[in-house]
């Protein structure tokens, strides 16, 4: 691995840590200020995701038209501005939306820079490092953000601002890479539609684009569902203990991310669907488990399967994008589908919960839905050929 990969790893860890710390600090602040948070907390999360959907036609081209190290540090500064707005008491929905804008700009550069730093043979490994460290950052940011916010909201937001600034400084240490293309780009929105069509038209690109969306939509629903499922099945009512259950999923994803390069190299992308089937099957099993230790084991296995699923398809999408429409543009398309799926999945679950859906049945249904969705996104996936070059999307300027 080149030293620059580790620098990207540092900036990604710090910004992911801060992203999750600021979310739980904001949630803590809202809970302290109001007892009616049933609608506000989901709205807060939605405010963060909206930028990924709305800005998707532009952020990929923005990342590909510049040296990606510049995009990384600039995006972190935008996040710091949003955190500062929270610190001085601006409306949380607006402030958190600003952080979402920074995150939407950051993501295509984060993933788009990897294929510029390493060759195809090392890309899955580099993704494993990124995904594994991100999971650790998510876990640490969640716990630290909630803990510090319970002591002092101001201190929590101050910590977050500091982390974003340090992450920006770490990005500045990355070597300046040449801009992928200086050619004049077509109108953003029509070109984005063309890119979406291109990525969905070829089997491997479609599998990677929809597969990663399926993973994050499932993970988002599972995380929320555990809050309702654990008290009913495991008789756990303490929020800290419920949150600790997510530790086993997070550790599992980190382990799966490290195993993936050995078990599912990019030349054998079809194998990734088996990990998704395994993840779905264990979720169905989890719905019938009634003991804490078995639940922890099942959650860990879900995480391992999820990590083995998402890392290879992430790497494939980056490589496909790098060789066709631009790695940043490919990730922007990925983010669009990913965040739309997260918003839709969360909305459907919220509606089901509002209608009184049983958490145990909902858990089983989630597993079945993942099984069916995996079969759909894997449909017509061709045999592995040892290269993705024969399945690159063709995108026309419109």
Q: Which tens digit of pLDDT belongs to each residue from 62-83?
A: 877 788 889 999 999 999 999 9
Collapsing DSSP states into helix, strand and coil, what is residue 282? Answer: helix
Q: Considering the chain, what is the average pLDDT of its residues?
A: 82
Mean pLDDT lowest among 236-250, 271-285, 306-320:
236-250
Looking at the predicted structure, is the pLDDT value of residue 146 above 90?
A: no
DSSP codes joined into one string, 78-96? HHHHHHHHHHTT--HHHHH
CATH class of 188-389: mainly alpha
108 within 8 A of 63, measured Cβ to Cβ? yes
> What is the rounded end-to-end Cα distance, in angstroms, of the chain?
39
Q: What are the structure tokens assigned to 251, written together?
A: 């550790």
188-389 and 1-177 share a CATH fold? yes
Query: Model-level pTM greater than 0.85?
Result: no
DSSP class of residue 238 equals -
pLDDT of 397 reads 46
Question: Distance of alpha carbon 250 from its chain centroid, rounded?
Answer: 13
The architecture (CATH level 2) of 1-177 comes to Up-down Bundle (1.20)
What is the mean pLDDT of the segment spanning 375-382? 82
What phi, psi does 341 have (nearest 5°)?
Answer: -65, -35
Collapsing DSSP states into helix, strand and coil, what is residue 324? Answer: coil
Q: What are the structure tokens assigned to 63, written together?
A: 């990342």
Of residues 72 and 56, more confidence is placed in: 72
Query: What sign has the CA pseudo-torsion 242, 296, 309, 121?
Result: positive
Residue with tokens 């803990």: 147
* Residues in the chain, overall count: 398
Which of the residue ranges 69-83, 235-249, 354-368 has the most confident prediction, judged by mean pLDDT? 69-83
pLDDT of 398 reads 44
Closest CA to 276 of 200, 374, 381: 374
What is the mean pLDDT of the segment spanning 93-100? 93
Mean pLDDT lowest among 248-252, 261-265, 318-322:
318-322
pLDDT of 163 reads 97
Alpha-carbon distance 299 to 296, whole Å?
A: 5
Q: Could you tell me the residue ranges of all domains in the chain?
A: 1-177, 188-389
């Amino acid at each position: 691995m080149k030293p620059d990969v580790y620098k990207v790893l540092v900036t990604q860890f710090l910004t992911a840590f801060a992203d999750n710390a600021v979310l739980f600090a904001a949630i803590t602040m809202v809970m302290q200020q109001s007892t009616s948070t049933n609608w506000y907390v989901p709205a807060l999360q939605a405010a963060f995701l909206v930028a990924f959907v709305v800005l998707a036609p532009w952020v990929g081209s923005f990342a590909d038209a510049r040296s990606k190290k510049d995009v990384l540090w600039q995006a972190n500064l935008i996040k710091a501005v949003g955190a500062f707005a929270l610190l001085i008491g601006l409306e949380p929905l607006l402030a958190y939306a600003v952080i979402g804008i920074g995150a939407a700009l950051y993501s295509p550069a984060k993933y788009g820079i990897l294929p510029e730093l390493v060759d195809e043979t090392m890309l899955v490994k580099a993704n494993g490092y990124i995904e594994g460290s991100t999971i650790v950052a998510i876990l640490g940011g969640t716990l630290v953000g909630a803990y510090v916010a319970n002591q002092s909201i101001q201190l929590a937001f101050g910590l977050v601002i500091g982390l974003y600034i340090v992450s920006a400084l770490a990005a500045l240490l990355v070597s300046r890479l040449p801009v992928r293309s200086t050619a004049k780009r077509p109108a953003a929105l029509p070109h984005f539609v063309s890119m979406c069509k291109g990525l969905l038209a070829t089997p491997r690109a479609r599998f990677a684009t929809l597969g990663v969306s399926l993973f994050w939509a499932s993970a988002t629903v599972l995380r929320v569902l555990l809050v309702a499922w654990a008290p009913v099945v495991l008789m756990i009512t303490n929020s800290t203990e419920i949150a600790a259950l997510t530790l086993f999923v997070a550790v599992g994803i980190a382990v799966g991310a490290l195993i993936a390069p050995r078990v599912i190299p990019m030349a054998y992308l079809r194998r990734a669907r088996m990990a998704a089937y395994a993840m779905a099957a264990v979720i169905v099993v989890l719905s019938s488990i009634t003991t804490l230790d078995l639940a922890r084991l099942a959650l860990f296995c879900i995480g391992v399967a999820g990590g083995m699923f998402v890392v290879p398809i992430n790497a494939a999408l980056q490589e496909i994008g790098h060789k066709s429409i631009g790695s940043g543009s490919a990730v922007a398309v990925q983010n669009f589908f990913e965040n739309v799926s997260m918003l839709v999945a969360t909305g459907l679950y919220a509606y089901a919960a509002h209608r009184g859906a049983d958490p145990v049945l909902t858990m089983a249904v989630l597993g079945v839905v993942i099984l069916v969705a995996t079969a759909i996104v894997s449909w017509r996936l061709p045999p592995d050929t040892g290269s993705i070059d024969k399945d690159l999307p063709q995108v026309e300027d419109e």
